[in-house]
Structure 1
Amino acid sequence: MQYLVQDIQADIASQQSELMSAGYTPIVGVVSRKWGKQRDDDMDIETPEANKYYLELANNGNSAARDLELWIGVYYRFNRSKTYFSSNSVPLKRTQEGTWWPTDVGGALSESEGTTEFVAEPKLRKIEKSSLLKRSKEIDETEIGEALKTIYNDGVNEVSVVFSVTYKTATGENQEIEVGAYQEKLSRLENHDWKLYYAQESTIKFDEIKSKSH
């Protein structure tokens, strides 16, 4: 009898979990995306400002999306440099923050009929390669334009970059929305002061680049 009760309780818990998951689901969509360069026509706009990524998001679900972040995936062929740059996630922050909003974590988006603008500052993780005696370790985060410049100076001329929005549901599930994929010759970006606004959208599928990303 005790085993039977435990089985019934397990079934009920499973059903409640499924109902909760179905009943509290954010449905987030990307309405528009824009580089900082597109928001400012100034030719002398600084590269970090030009490379900020602005996203207009909507949530048509029935619960809040939390820990909104921009994931930046990067792929290129390594060389003999002692360091390399790896994929990274950075917080998505509201462009019009209230005093209640924490600025050092990924944002949240409640369900509503309108849209909300978020901004991220894309950065890549700088990694020191492993050696016989040491493991690979992260050195710091580097603004993506500066990272691409360093990669180019190390002798690499082609890089693929993908962006996605990630967030958590009310039940703690991780969700991802594909945003964009770019493949560019770094010699061309050098001529544009490393502003990704000038990068070409990639014809390669998002998943293909993501699977190769470091």
Structure 2
Amino acid sequence: MADKDFDDTEVPGGEDPEANASGSDPQEGQDTAGEQAERPQDEAEGDELTVDDILGAAQSAEAAAEDAVLADLETQLLNDLKRLQAEYANYRRRTEEQREVEIERAQGAVAKGLLPVLDDLDRAEKHGDLEEGSPFSAIAEKLRGVAERMGLSTYGAAGEAFDPQHHEAIFQVPTPGTTEATVLEVVEIGYRLGSVELRPAKVVVAVPAE
């Protein structure tokens, strides 16, 4: 009987011993709920940083693309400038070359007027009419000096190889022992003025005998 009365005795204060034995703390439960309430806000803040990062990356990519376009444009402009400079340099070179050729042609037109006189001097010299010290010889030397200062030069001599580009063959003479066409005699001397050929040399050509 004493044991039964002891078991039915209520604990003062109406507290359940098993509930106290569970070890749960009301304060700890409140802290857990607060952490759960703060968690969605932290996640939202994390989402906002990610968006900023994406926007920053997009802006960086756009800036890089603009830089690439500007770099390509600059390269194209530099290439165009170099091409224009090269074209201008070629134009100046061609113009200078053409100017020199035109000057030579103009001088050649003047020099051609002297060729008949020079031919007469050559014929007179062959016939012994240009005696040294004579007035005629002095005039001949002056005319030849003027032609030389103009840049007039002669070509065509016996024994040189025949060149149809510069020699005009009057007739051909088969010559034993000749292996190639050779100038045998110069009938009329050729003249050049710089790179301009004023008159080809008229020659007699020795050719191999059959």
Q: Which of the pair has more CA radius of gyration?
A: 2
Structure with the larger RCO, 1 or 2 (CA within 8 Å, 6+ apart):
1
Q: TM-score scaled to structure 1, two decimals?
A: 0.32
> When you count strand as a share of all residues, which structure comes out higher?
1
What TM-score, normalized by structure 2, do the two folds share? 0.33
Higher helix residue share: 2
